[in-house]
Structure 1
Amino acid sequence: MSVTQFTIRRPDDWHLHLRDGAMLRSVIGHTSANFARAIIMPNLVPPVVTADQAASYLEQIRAALPEGDDFEPLMTLYLTETTDPEDVAQSAASGLIKAVKLYPAGATTNSESGVRDIEKIYPVLERMSEIDLPLLVHGEVTDPEIDIFDREAVFIDRVLDPLRQRFPTLRIVMEHVTTKEGVNYVMTSPKGIAATLTTHHLIINRNAYLVGGIKPHYYCLPVAKRETHRLAVRAAATSGNPRFFLGTDSAPHFDGAKESACGCAGIYTSINTLNCLAHVFEDDGALDQFEAFASLSGPAFYGLLPNEQRLKFIKQSDPVEMPGKISVQNETITVFDPGFALLWRHELTKAGEI
């Protein structure tokens, strides 16, 4: 008999872009309605590099939350070659930040201030190892001679594995893994490394944005890859392996910036991620692993307790109504279209209800 409803602990999002200003105010409610906590990406313009900047950004986020929402932003710092190790340590000790983000310079949106010479950040990484503060990595090299479809695998060999050998106690999250090489590396490495997986990389391969014309709203970084890689990533997500957990990498851009001669990378999924994931896990016969991926493994890696609140999922016969676009002043943001009907809806359970 097929499952028509199930309940999980309220999920968290371990990789989220909220932007700032009007865009922040327009998208934050989609996250706070679905997730209890989220790791907030620091790649604003200018980036969130210091404790003072992180505290200011945290206040912006709290001010933008819909009234009554109890969402908790988990802040990060943007790692640069001049980052002060003691500022990082003090930010962590105060509880202000939960991790530091490494962007190779030029790897993705607003990453121009990122790291070019990895040796220049060794003092920060040493201090992070001492205080057990996780390093989040955008795992791609940016060398122009390296094919964009190979940049994750090359990053593992050239950067990540040597880094882990030099700092064996540094906890690392390899974010938005997109390849079978990335999955295998995380799965077979000694403890201390984990990976976030996005909703869209479980659903689309490179055909989605290249076949039948360029489709900019499926363009993201890292780019979606061959079907063999999508299947490896999807198998990792639905396996129940605690090293893999949800990080949506939901990244809103205005349609004008996406639909241009040099379109921005990013897919907006915060509003419908959980509906999409319920479909994916049901399709793979893995609904019993959904809670581990969305609600349990992430908190365990970060040393946090799972959320006490529960979400009940109910399967309905008619598709869930979902907007195709979000309005932000005079602009719009396109919502991720998974290419299938969303039949799973969800709601917070009442106190004492399971």
Structure 2
Amino acid sequence: MTQEILIRRPDDWHLHLRDGAMLQGILPETARHFARAIIMPNLVPPVVTGEQAAAYRDRILAALPKGMTFTPLMTLYLTEGTDPADVAAAAESGLVKAVKLYPAGATTNSHSGVRDLDKVMPVLEKMAEIGLPLCTHGEVTTAEVDIFDREAVFIDTVLDPLRCRLPELRVVMEHITTEEGATYAAEGGPNLGATITTHHLIINRNHILVGGIKPHYYCLPVAKREKHRLALRRAATSGKSCYFLGTDSAPHVDALKEHACGCAGCFTATNTMALLAHVFEEDSALDKLEAFASLNGPAFYGLPVNDEKIRLVKHELAQTFPEKIITEAGPVTVFNPGYPVHWAVEA
């Protein structure tokens, strides 16, 4: 017997589209289901000025297949040389919706990121003044901190002191992966939000390591213990307005994932909505899926919800998804949850 739900068309509040041939190949996978997305600026070279953001937006729109509707919400990559006036002008024009803080060396193409937070305080003060959100990759990168502890240490030593110093600054804790992150977001008040990825609701660190290394489950922040995955599930399915979907869908060609020093990232754009329906149904929270995927993010960013709707249908037989997306840059493996999924997005 089929079951179906109708929800507002969702948005993705953390997305990697890359550029060039990769952009051309994977953009339709997001635009098929999502109306808007916060676009990550960690290209090579990174998107650091309003002019560069405008050029990147134009390349994204040029790559959009005919008949698809999608709005890229642009961000700027915060560096120690970022000009506060340029940030303010890009925000005032409506082009830029957030600025991204990458601690230097934290993840893919983050080497131009911030090493000394004091050097970017003029930018952060201007953002607090104009209400422009700061999206944070919330991990410290000091060698003495274990990779599984990076998020909790970041909250204690970087994020909380920053928010005490600039309480008016609107902050998004991106791709939280820990119980500590979920708790901090819930207690942070109206100026703090948190995105949760699809894959962190499904995998823990055993999925990466048990039975051999699984490179297509390797991501940053890395998946943690099972207790943290369960905390994220409780957060996402709670309906609380501070939590919203940011897939962090991050395409890499297979040759760079299946490599001696493989790239971090899970590509989930293709099947995220079906996977979320599965997760939320398992937790008896299908009535909370629309808030997580379609309502809470726009509310935090001060944007209207989408008028369009999508229909999710549960079938008796398990549904199939492409194993790979073939792009001119190379094949990209689609995230596999490791179990049958009976949900699908249908017209």
Shared fold (TM-score greater than 0.5)? yes
- The equivalences for 1:142-157 within 5 A come to 142-157=141-156
Deviating more after overlay: 12-21 vs 319-328: 319-328
Contact 2:13/2:195, CA 8 A, preserved across alignment: yes
Q: Deviations over 1:160-188 (max 9, x none)?
A: 00000110000000000000000011111
Contact 2:253/2:329, CA 8 A, preserved across alignment: no
Separation (CA, whole Å) in 1 of partners of 2:88 and 2:293: 29
Normalized against structure 2, the TM-score is what?
0.99
Residue type at the aligned position of 1:335: V
Could you tell me how far 1:321 is from its partner in structure 2? 2.2
Could you tell me how far 1:190 is from its partner in structure 2? 2.7
Deviating more after overlay: 315-324 vs 251-260: 315-324
Q: Which residue of 1 is the match for residue 346 of structure 2? A: 347
Could you tell me how far 1:328 is from its partner in structure 2? 1.6
- Secondary structure of the 1:209 match is helix
Q: Which residue of 2 is the match for residue 352 of structure 1? A: none
Compute the RMSD of aligned alpha carbons. Answer: 1.0
Q: Which residue of 1 is the match for residue 198 of structure 2? A: 199
Q: Deviations over 1:177-228 (max 9, x none)?
A: 0000000111112321010000000000000010001110000000000000
Could you tell me how far 1:329 is from its partner in structure 2? 2.4
Q: Deviations over 1:52-88 (max 9, x none)?
A: 1001100100000010111000000000001000000
- Secondary structure of the 1:143 match is coil
Contact 2:172/2:193, CA 8 A, preserved across alignment: yes
Could you tell me how far 1:3 is from its partner in structure 2? 7.7
In structure 2, do the counterparts of structure 1 residues 344 and 304 end up closer, same or farther at CA, with 3 Å as the change threshold? same
Q: Which residue of 1 is the match for residue 324 of structure 2? A: 325
Q: Is 1:269 aligned with 2:274?
A: no
Q: Which residue of 2 is the match for residue 129 of structure 1? A: 128
Separation (CA, whole Å) in 2 of partners of 1:86 and 1:93: 10
Normalized against structure 1, the TM-score is what?
0.97
- The equivalences for 1:1-354 within 5 A come to 4-329=3-328, 331-348=330-347
Could you tell me how far 1:41 is from its partner in structure 2? 0.2
Deviating more after overlay: 321-330 vs 276-285: 321-330
- Secondary structure of the 2:27 match is helix
Separation (CA, whole Å) in 1 of partners of 2:24 and 2:205: 32
Could you tell me how far 1:327 is from its partner in structure 2? 1.0
- Secondary structure of the 1:56 match is helix
Q: Deviations over 1:271-304 (max 9, x none)?
A: 0000100000000000000000000000000001
Separation (CA, whole Å) in 1 of partners of 2:212 and 2:91: 46
Residue type at the aligned position of 1:111: S
Stretches of structure 2 lacking an aligned partner (at least 5 in a row): none
Q: Deviations over 1:292-322 (max 9, x none)?
A: 0000000000001110101111111122221
Contact 2:22/2:329, CA 8 A, preserved across alignment: no
Separation (CA, whole Å) in 2 of partners of 1:102 and 1:217: 25
Residue type at the aligned position of 1:147: D
Separation (CA, whole Å) in 1 of partners of 2:305 and 2:335: 27
Could you tell me how far 1:347 is from its partner in structure 2? 2.6
